[in-house]
Amino acid sequence: MERLTTKDTLLGITAMLATLLIWSSFFISLRASSESDLTIGDIALLRFVPAALVFGYLSRHSLRKIQTTPKRYLLAIGWGAGLPFLMLAANGLHLAPVADGASLIPGILPLFVSSIAAFCYKERISASRKTGIGLIVVGISLFVTHSLFSGQTDVVQGHGLLLLASFSWAWFTVAMRVSGLTPVTGGLVLAGSACLLLPVFHGLGWVTFNLFSAPLSDIMVHLLIQGVAVGVLANFSYGFAISRLGAEMSAALGSFTPVVAALLAAAIFHEALSTTTLLAMSCIICGALAASELIPLKGKLKQPGWLNRLRWQR
């Protein structure tokens, strides 16, 4: 049975705090891209190409490990946090406010992770996790109901895309934990697969490029945020946090992203936070904490049984 030491916990929480700050910048960057000349394809280039180069160099002696990893885990990593995830998140944030995106993507993670555990691996759901899932569902319902009654059908569509993005990220979170890949080798799978998919998606007409026509200032800002911070640093810090804290606790800490992102959005884009939005965010954050059983943590943390079983069965 795997146990986490106090040192592991502290290192994992530190990595997640850094990840929270970067994720908040990620949502701000995607929202800002909708008001610039940069396309989603341009953002993908800035995010994944530098990461593929960095992680490719760092993983040059570990390619054998990637080759022997079950393909289903590689697919979940590449799809769950790669180009398909970015397109879902970016299109969703073009339709919905930053606070909604920051709540629905990381905030719903514990719901999806627990659902994967229950339906795919027959894990028993505790009373605490059931309560948390219930609160998350209430939070989602508040977001959707508020948009429907206000006649904002485009926002509802945005919410749907953001929920799909969160579901993809949940599979990435689980796959990173059970695959045995390091944050560096996992980062190569994620970024490398996105680089391979970009010309395919361009050929299908799903993404376009306008990088050379955009202002240099926009390119540099998004390169620093998406390429360096999100593409390299966050991939490593989140993967490191998962390796130290486990999938569910990392997902729980990630639920605090909307608080930071909403404050930044209010300051930068002057997005107002309605009473309903604040209530929905509160429900999702409290639900994420309860669903991931973070509150009763006392120095040692047992990993969910389904994660341990998968590790030995792959």
- Condensed to tens digits (0 to 9), the pLDDT of residues 237-254 reads 888 888 888 776 777 777
Containing structural domain, residue 288: 6-313
Confidence of residue 100 (pLDDT cuts 50, 70, 90): confident
* Span 110-126, pLDDT tens digits: 778 777 767 766 667 77
- Per-residue pLDDT tens digits for 1-23: 345 568 888 888 889 888 888 88
Give the pLDDT confidence score for residue 1 in this predicted structure: 36
* pLDDT-based confidence at residue 236 (cuts at 50, 70, 90): confident
Task: Round to whole Å and give the CA distance between 80 and 216.
Answer: 30
Asked if 77 and 190 touch (Cβ cutoff 8 Å), the reply is yes
Average pLDDT over the chain, rounded to an integer: 81
Put residue 303 in one of left, alpha, beta given phi > 0 → left and psi -120 to 50 → alpha. Answer: beta
How many C-beta atoms lie closer than 10 Å to residue 156's C-beta?
Answer: 18
Structural domain count, the chain: 1
Dihedral sign, Cα of residue 252, residue 243, residue 198, residue 52:
positive
Cα(154)–Cα(158) distance, rounded to whole angstroms? 6
Please check whether residue 211 lies inside any domain of the structure.
yes
pTM of the model: 0.74
Amino acid present at 96: A
Return d(Cα 82, Cα 62) in angstroms, integer: 20
Average pLDDT in the 198-216 region?
Answer: 91
Residue 71 to residue 88: CA distance in whole angstroms: 23
pLDDT mean over 66-86: 92
Q: Which pLDDT score, from 0 to 100, does residue 298 have?
A: 41
Q: Which of 15-29, 50-64, 278-292 has the lowest mean pLDDT?
A: 278-292
pLDDT at 45: 93
Between 136 and 311, the more confident residue is: 136
Residue 1 lies in a domain: no
pLDDT band at 312 (very low <50, low <70, confident <90, very high): very low
Q: How confident is the model at residue 292 (pLDDT cuts 50, 70, 90)?
A: low
* Site of tokens 């969703």: 92
Question: How much is the CA Rg of the chain, to the nearest whole Å?
Answer: 19
